[in-house]
Structure 1
Amino acid sequence: MKLAFTKMHGIGNDFVMVDCRHRPFPLDAAQIRAIADRHAGVGFDQLISIEPARDSACAFYYGIWNADGSPSGQCGNGVRCVAAWLHRAGELAIGDTVRLESPSGPVTVRLTGPGEVTVDMGVPAFEPARIPFLAEAAADRYAIDVGGETLEIGAVSMGNPHAVVVVADLHAPALFRLGPLLTTHGRFPQGANAGFVQVVDRGHLRLRVHERGSGWTLACGTGACAAMAVMHARGEIDARARVELPGGTLAIAWAGPGQTLWMTGPATFVFEGEWLDTARAH
């Protein structure tokens, strides 16, 4: 099987985009893992399919798969790439605002300029059952044992589960041990993206994220939104902030609980290619 694809990234968070507007999604989990291999395949953090919408109120549906072949509910950097891909395909013009359907529900996107997209990421969900996270009641801080160490985390869903930990040093060696352990922690029944955040000032955060199913990434859009939501809910940052990740910076705006969170950032085309499923070619 030959599969045409587009390689894109949003501040270093990279994607393989597959056009499924006129055909069913053709890949199984093993094939997704093969494409994700950065030595023998193409390499990506997530694979995204662009499909007809299931919801008549939306223009298109997009599916998301992690590098290990598991499905994901949302991807902030990915949805910006979907919007830019649709623009290049003639489906979306600069200045247009459309609803797109993700696995976790509809989102609104606006193509604000060439390669720049603003996304309505929805209302952050702090209720433990909605994350999901095992806790008796919602709180802005939880004590959690991770690898024999007690961490203070914030927990929130941005269409996928997130744990947010405030740290003084984003390069501390302990983070590389704690990230994978937190991602698979038993209090997150579906796993979680583990975000380690440093507060620079009231309008500036620095962040590193270990993503469930993909590992350490150069950027995580929903992780940036989660860090903003947790820190603003605690009153530690303002309603607008820059979130700086290893791959670049996102602009996040959130008025507070019950309000929609907005994310603005770039979407970049890298190359077009064709993947051959050599394992099944004989």
Structure 2
Amino acid sequence: MRVPFIKMHGLGNDFVVLDARERALPDLAGGTVRALADRRAGIGCDQLIVLEEDEAATCRMRIFNQDGGEVESCGNAARAVGLLLGQPATIATKGGTIATRPDDAGIAVDMGAPRFDWQAIPLAYAMDTAAMPVGWEGLEQPVAVNVGNPHIVFFVDDSDAVRLDTLGPLIETDELFPERINVNVATVEDRATIRLRVWERGAGLTRACGTGACATAVAAMRTGRTERDVTVHLPGGPLRIAWADDARITMTGPAAEAFRGSFDWGDYA
């Protein structure tokens, strides 16, 4: 079975997109995802994206990390899919339905409203998610927020100095987080600017994370560090994040198509 694919990225966070809206695909096993995501023996990507028909939305977007696990949301992938659709659209995900529209700066995504209660993150037990009384090797008092998927945010003097490659996996798999966690380290440059690095659950260090930018911006706004419209600078480039009075988050930034191709499903099953 020959399957076409589209390679895309948002600020360097890259995806293999499979369109199953008209032609159904075999069930995706974790091994198939890992093989396709492998950068030496496969196509290579941070996440595999599968588009399916949905009765209530323009399409459904399923998101699989490099490790084969299916996750709830991906902001950069939402912009990539919005670019493919080419018009205002609604996209159903495991984390809820989001809306995309073309914008002068790329694609704008209505990411919905954040959640802060400890059960929604989720955490293993109750605590204040605006100043969690926990720490890991000098990273202390993080903020937790769910923006379709779970994030923990540490505000530090210099995000580039944090050993996120070693602390990221340690925090991600801590028993405090029963569904694991995305780990963000952020430096607030001024009331409208944040510098950010992200360890993504199941994918590791990536050049950009759209939901991480949303979670970090909202965490900064919630704790009075910034205004409610900021630019978040990631290693791959900037995203604009606005948190409106109606509590909904809008993320705006670029997405791009890299190339198209096809592969034999049997080679990766």
Same fold, TM-score > 0.5, yes or no: yes
Alpha-carbon offset, residue 112 of structure 1:
2.0
**Distance between the aligned counterparts of 2:160 and 2:96, measured in 1?**
35
CA contact (8 A) 1:119 1:262 kept: yes
- 3-state DSSP of counterpart to 1:210: strand
Q: Secondary structure at the match of 1:40?
A: coil
State the partner residue of 2:263: 275
Gaps of 5+ in 1: none
Structure 1 CA distance for aligned equivalents of residues 160 and 25 of structure 2 = 39
Rounded to whole Å, the distance in 2 between the matches of 1:21 and 1:279 is 22
Residue equivalent to 2:121: 131
Post-superposition offset of 1:4: 1.1
Q: Aligned to 1:244, which of 213, 233, 244?
A: 233
Moved more, 132-141 or 229-238: 132-141
Letter in 2 for 1:85: L
Asked if structure 1 preserves the Cα contact closer than 8 Å seen for 2:181 and 2:201, the reply is yes
2:143 paired with 1:187: no
CA positional deviation for 1:151:
2.0
- Structure 1 range deviating more: 65-74 or 26-35: 26-35
1:266 equivalent among 230, 254, 264? 254
Q: Does 2:26 correspond to 1:35?
A: no
Q: TM-score, normalised by structure 2?
A: 0.94
Equivalent residues in 2 for 1:161-176, closer than 5 Å: 161-172=150-161, 174-176=163-165
Number of matched pairs: 268
> How far off its partner does 1:277 sit?
4.4
Measured at CA, do residues 240 and 150 of structure 1 come closer, stay the same or move farther in structure 2, by a change above 3 Å? closer
Provide, for residues 14-42 of structure 1, a one-character-per-residue CA deviation record: whole Å limited to 9, x for no partner: 00000101133433211110010011111
Q: Cα deviations across residues 221-272 of structure 1 (Å, max 9, x unaligned)?
A: 000000011110001100100000000100000136x610100011100000
2:169 counterpart of 1:140: no
Alignment deviations for residues 17-72 of structure 1 (CA, whole Å, 9 cap, x no partner)? 0010113343321111001001111111111111101xx33111111000111001
1:77 — aligned with what? 76
d(CA) in 2 for partners of 1:171, 1:138: 27
Amino acid in the other structure paired with 1:35: L
CA contact (8 A) 2:32 2:268 kept: no
Matched, 1:227 2:236: no
What pairs with 1:188-227 in structure 2 (closer than 5 Å)? 188-227=177-216
Match of 2:110 in 1: 120
In structure 2, the residue matched to 1:45 is 46
Letter of the structure 2 residue corresponding to residue 136 of structure 1: A
> Structure 1 CA distance, aligned partners of 2:91 and 2:162?
39
Q: Quote the offset at 1:276 in angstroms.
A: 3.0
Q: 1:83-133: CA deviations, max 9, x gaps? A: 11122xxxx3xxxx32211111111111125x8110110111001101112
CA shift for structure 1 position 137: 4.0
The Cα offsets for residues 194-219 of structure 1, whole Å up to 9 and x where unpaired, read as 00101000000010000011000000
Look up the SS of the partner of 1:34 in the other structure.
helix
**Structure 2 unaligned regions, length at least 5:** none
Cα distance in 1, alignment partners of residues 253 and 78 from structure 2: 11
Shift of 1:183: 1.3
Equivalent pair of 1:133/1:155 in contact (CA under 8 Å): no
RMSD over aligned CA atoms reads 1.8
Q: Name the CA shift for 1:165/1:273 in 2 (closer, same or farther; >3 Å).
A: same
Range with bigger deviation, 100-109 or 196-205? 100-109
**CA separation of 1:276/1:163 partners in 2, compared to 1, >3 Å: closer, same or farther?**
same
CA contact (8 A) 1:58 1:100 kept: yes
Equivalent residue letter for 1:28 = A
User: Structure 2 CA distance, aligned partners of 1:280 and 1:78?
Assistant: 22
Q: 1:274 offset after TM fit, Å?
A: 1.4
| Equivalent residue in structure 2 for 1:104, among 95, 99, 124 | 95
Which amino acid letter does the alignment assign opposite residue 140 of structure 1? A
Determine whether 1:66 maps to 2:57.
Answer: no
